[in-house]
Structure 1
């Protein structure tokens, strides 16, 4: 049953599989949605196919890489949000990233630089008395540098560090900042990768942890991934070097 709220969530990178599930779950809680993405046609189709309440959803064009457009995008929002989720992400495999800087640059721009650009604007708008929470989607790849994915992981590590500092910056305004540190998710960004199916999470399961985020900074869905996260944090470098 939907709760009666007058709150709005802004989802940046709303075309991701996890973000789409967030749209469904926030609607169920009575939120209004501003869904922002480069691919607005895909969002239109998603809303139509799933018979979602279009009166509660505003779809806007947002390009994480077009930094110069971010101030205008935020200024023209129909309402200033209560919750902001940065779900935009881009991944190329490590081998390609090491040989093709364009792929590396795009990961940097979408996973980190674009996030900092728009979230700085959101965070520094002290006139927005609605703002309650900012949530960024990171990755377990950010915890330790491993030879199979350290280029991608480094962009997510930078984003996680940024969010940690932003949390401190906004604490005096009682704005909560969370980071979702997830393992393998069954999403289009991971298509073609050989992943352990026993560890694979579904987008709706991950979205549930986002929508129900509490006060703790780090959110790690699934007890298996919590254990892996803790092990990665404490492993000595000599053992991390032996991981794939």
Structure 2
């Protein structure tokens, strides 16, 4: 039985993953901004088999409360051995281009708040000599593209931070997993035209569950995004800068 802290728990990907955990009878501590949605989700997860489900309302950008969050979750659950960080916003690229304040707001939510949480969790797990850290990053961080480079910058920073943590924590027995989804059909992407490359939150949730079971390092979801992004990364800059991606 795992003792799992999920931050950004009401996101479509996190909820789908939590249902998979519930099936195993795991104990869950859910953190998000909306108590009503958290309460409904907790009830659903208990019905699906979760042994214990606790909730907390928190704005992840209030980084001063992150240390207390980790401590409270650990005290309430008895221990913590897994954390899934899945919160984020899909940046309005045009708004960010026009305003540094908008850019900073997106970087705070998608990058700095994540790094703050990871700093606290990494120190705790390093001390206890075990644990699994899972963070939802994105294929958008693999290369800067004109359509979403502010969002991509945030995700690239998170990915690099996770690489360093993985290297640092390996000898302490702590697993650090980077999840890189491609296009996912969620409320956040409701206005986008969907195609064959799009995945459901349930597919991503199952992939996250398998990554934890297998103690993977970096996982592209669905799998074919690894090869798509390889091609994109290998394209020479002299060619890539002419594209309209």
Task: State the TM-score, normalizing by the size of structure 1.
Answer: 0.90
CA root-mean-square deviation: 1.9
Match of 1:30 among 11, 25, 29: 25
Residue number in structure 1 paired with 2:112: 113
User: Is the 1:64–1:109 contact (alpha carbons within 8 Å) kept by the matching residues of 2?
Assistant: no
Deviation at 1:81, TM superposition (A): 1.4
User: Is the 2:27–2:50 contact (alpha carbons within 8 Å) kept by the matching residues of 1?
Assistant: no
Distance 2:52 2:4 in 1: 11
Q: Deviations over 1:4-46 (max 9, x none)?
A: x2x2111111010000011100111221111111112112123
Residue number in structure 2 paired with 1:204: 202
User: Is the 1:142–1:160 contact (alpha carbons within 8 Å) kept by the matching residues of 2?
Assistant: yes
User: Is the 1:81–1:130 contact (alpha carbons within 8 Å) kept by the matching residues of 2?
Assistant: no
Runs of at least 5 residues in structure 2 that lack an aligned partner in the other structure: none
Q: Paired residues, what number?
A: 238
Deviation at 1:54, TM superposition (A): 6.7
User: Is the 2:177–2:218 contact (alpha carbons within 8 Å) kept by the matching residues of 1?
Assistant: yes
User: Is the 1:19–1:207 contact (alpha carbons within 8 Å) kept by the matching residues of 2?
Assistant: yes
Greater fraction of residues in helix: 2
Distance 2:31 2:170 in 1: 26
Residue number in structure 2 paired with 1:173: 172
User: Is the 1:11–1:87 contact (alpha carbons within 8 Å) kept by the matching residues of 2?
Assistant: yes
Residue number in structure 1 paired with 2:34: 39
Deviation at 1:227, TM superposition (A): 1.8
Task: State the TM-score, normalizing by the size of structure 2.
Answer: 0.90
Match of 1:69 among 57, 65, 68: 65
